[in-house]
């Protein structure tokens, strides 16, 4: 033997062993071997691993859904049983889709958040012309009995109309009453008393009404919907603290002031 043309031994690779199914699920035996022969330690049908991966996928999906949905409003259907495709040990296991639906909260039919649109109503027959600039009524407290919020009305003014809310009341008491109205020569008329009581076919029209009801700030205007805490009608007394009213017009059968109303010009 000389040079690089030496004879090198050739090693033939062993022929790949063939296996066939046995009577034991997930186990194989060498083809042509005896029924009880073992294919060797650790050798299992590849479909066994496919089934194992599919089962792990199911468990992982269920755990992921549980962790991703801490909100009780997210309702998820429980994982179903292993589908037949995995039980048959298919090479491509399938994972059932999780049925998850987000439930939207249903608003309650009542409560503070509910607002009501007030109706438009016609002015009373013979309604006189009112001032385009409303008077300002304030006090420390205003207790109203038999309140009825009638709706929105257009009151006639010298040029056009003035939009206002119409209130009718059976009885009203205003503590530390003060009414400021435009007066002659550009001055302001001030009507003041410690307590003013009004009753008997009492109606007033306001372009703005504000005050505190049970500590909650309330504002009423023709442009705003009526807050849910304010009933359109109430037979029981309702007390507003720190009332402030832009008063366009008032009608009443009886008015009593204690002490008597005091008029001053500013």
78-121 pLDDT per residue, tens: 444 545 544 444 455 554 554 444 444 443 333 345 677 899 99
What's the number of domains the chain is made of?
2
> Where in the sequence is the domain holding 49, given as residue range(s)?
43-102
Domain termination residue (choose one: 86, 102, 118): 102
- Whether residues 157 and 260 share a domain: the answer is yes
- Whether residues 84 and 157 share a domain: the answer is no
> How many CA atoms are closer than 13 Å to the CA of 208, on its beta-carbon side?
11
- Whether residues 98 and 154 share a domain: the answer is no
pTM given for the model:
0.57
In a domain, 221, yes or no: yes
Q: What is the pLDDT of residue 255?
A: 93
In a domain, 74, yes or no: yes
- Whether residues 94 and 140 share a domain: the answer is no
- Whether residues 168 and 249 share a domain: the answer is yes
- Whether residues 69 and 172 share a domain: the answer is no
Q: How many residues does the chain have?
A: 266
């Amino acid at each position: 033997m000389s040079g690089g043309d030496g004879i090198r031994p050739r090693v033939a690779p062993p022929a790949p062993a063939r296996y066939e199914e046995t009577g034991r699920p997930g186990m194989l035996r060498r083809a042509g071997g005896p029924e009880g022969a073992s294919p060797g330690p650790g050798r299992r049908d590849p479909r066994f691993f496919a089934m194992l991966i599919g089962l792990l996928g199911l468990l992982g999906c269920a755990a992921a859904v549980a962790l991703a949905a801490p909100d009780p409003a997210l309702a998820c259907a429980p994982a179903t049983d292993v589908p037949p495709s995995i039980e048959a040990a298919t090479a491509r296991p399938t994972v059932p889709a999780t049925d998850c639906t987000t439930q939207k909260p249903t608003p309650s039919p009542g409560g503070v958040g509910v607002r009501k649109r007030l109706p438009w109503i016609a002015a009373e027959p013979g309604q006189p012309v009112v001032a385009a600039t409303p008077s300002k009524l304030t006090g420390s407290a205003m207790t109203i009995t038999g309140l009825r919020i009638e709706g929105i009305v257009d009151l006639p003014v010298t040029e056009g109309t003035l939009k206002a809310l119409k209130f009718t009341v059976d009885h009203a008491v205003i503590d530390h009453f003060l009414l400021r109205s435009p007066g002659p020569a550009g001055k302001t008329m001030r009507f003041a008393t410690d307590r003013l009581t009004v009753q008997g076919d009492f109606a007033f029209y306001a372009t703005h009404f504000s005050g505190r009801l049970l500590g909650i700030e309330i504002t009423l205007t023709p442009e705003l919907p009526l807050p849910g805490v304010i009933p359109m009608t109430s037979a029981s007394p309702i007390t507003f603290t720190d009332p402030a009213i832009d008063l366009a017009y008032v009608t009443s059968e009886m008015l009593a002031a204690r002490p008597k109303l005091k008029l001053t010009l500013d």
